[in-house]
Amino acid sequence: QSALTQPPSASGSPGQSVTISCTGTSSDVGGYNYVSWYQQHPGKAPKVMIYEVSKRPSGVPDRFSGSKSGNTASLTVSGLQAEDEADYYCSSYAGSNNFVVFGGGTKLTVL
Amino acid sequence: QVQLQESGPGLVKPSQTLSLTCTVSGGSISSGPYYWSWIRQPAGKGLEWIGRVSSSGGTNYNSSLKSRVTISMDTSKNQFSLNLSSVTAADTAVYYCARWPTSKGDFDYWGPGTLVTVSS
């Protein structure tokens, strides 16, 4: 059982928007602004899409956005494209001892 | 451009020790501040953080694996390593090494991953 809770699946048609949630506790998501989102295509390493809740690394399309409210973080993908179909994992800093926890992952399907 | 590459045996027998090395290029592992981590992913499952070593050599481990894990660094080779003892089939996974800049709070560079199977 993963420390952070994500829905196992999400879907949307091309051009639509989809939001994936990530629920933790006050010891991780709610306690720090170090929530990240990773995209993983089959057989590939994860790639960071969002860091520090809402920041995008260079090269990540602005169709990807992140937010947080209380113990729940969210990733929104706008203007869905076929290449967005992948698994998405959230993670959160959880203090100096536990360091980082991950969600169980959400499989995003572009219909 | 920083690159990470995992290496080590792809098959380990039960009860033995799994040993992997991550070779870093494009930057020194002793300059930082960074945390250099090991993360694993069983087939079809999610990601699990195993542990980390800091640029200064300090370590922290996942409490669920702490009794079996050792992570060390070799600055002369620009490598850091993972030893996981007393392995079972449950340790079969793709193992990744990754970098966490302390100023940003995310894993910004990852190795491609290496599959380790525990089987007799």
pLDDT for res A20: 98
pLDDT for res B100: 94
Phi-psi region of B78 (alpha: psi -120 to 50; beta: other; left: phi over 0): left
The dihedral sign for the CA sequence A19, A28, A3, A46:
positive
Is residue A3 predicted with pLDDT exceeding 90?
no
Q: For residue A82, count other CB atoms closer than 10 A to its CB.
A: 7
Chain B contact present for A88, CB below 8 A? no
CB contact under 8 A, B46 and A45: no
Contacts of B96 in chain A (CB under 8 A): 45-46
Helix/strand/coil for B83: strand
pLDDT for res A1: 63
CA B22/CA B99 separation, integer angstroms: 11
Contacts of B58 (CB under 8 A, 6+ apart): none
The dihedral sign for the CA sequence B3, B8, B12, B15:
negative
Task: Write out pLDDT tens, residues B48-89.
Answer: 999 999 998 899 999 999 999 999 999 999 999 999 999 999
Task: Write out pLDDT tens, residues A5-46.
Answer: 999 999 999 999 999 999 999 999 999 999 999 999 999 999
Interface test with B, best of A75, A96, A100 (most B CBs within 10 A): A100
Chain A contact present for B100, CB below 8 A? yes
Chain A contact present for B49, CB below 8 A? yes
Average pLDDT over residues B2-27: 97
Strands A9-12 and A106-110: parallel
Q: How far is B47 from chain A (nearest CA, A)?
A: 6
pLDDT for res A6: 97
More confident residue, B104 or B116: B116
Contacts of A99 in chain B (CB under 8 A): 35, 37, 49, 52, 60, 62
CB contact under 8 A, A51 and B60: no
Average pLDDT over residues B24-46: 93
Task: Write out pLDDT tens, residues B106-119.
Answer: 999 999 999 999 99
pLDDT for res A2: 67
Contacts of A100 (CB under 8 A, 6+ apart): A91, A92, A93, A94, B37, B49, B100
Task: Give the Å distances, CA to CA, from B81 to A21, A22, A40, B104, B107.
Answer: 34, 31, 24, 23, 17
Task: Write out pLDDT tens, residues A48-99.
Answer: 999 999 999 999 999 999 999 999 999 999 999 999 999 999 999 998 877 8
HSE-up (13 A, CA, CB side) for residue B105: 25
Share the mean pLDDT of chain B: 95
Interface test with A, best of B106, B109, B114 (most A CBs within 10 A): B106
The token duo for B101 is 């800049």
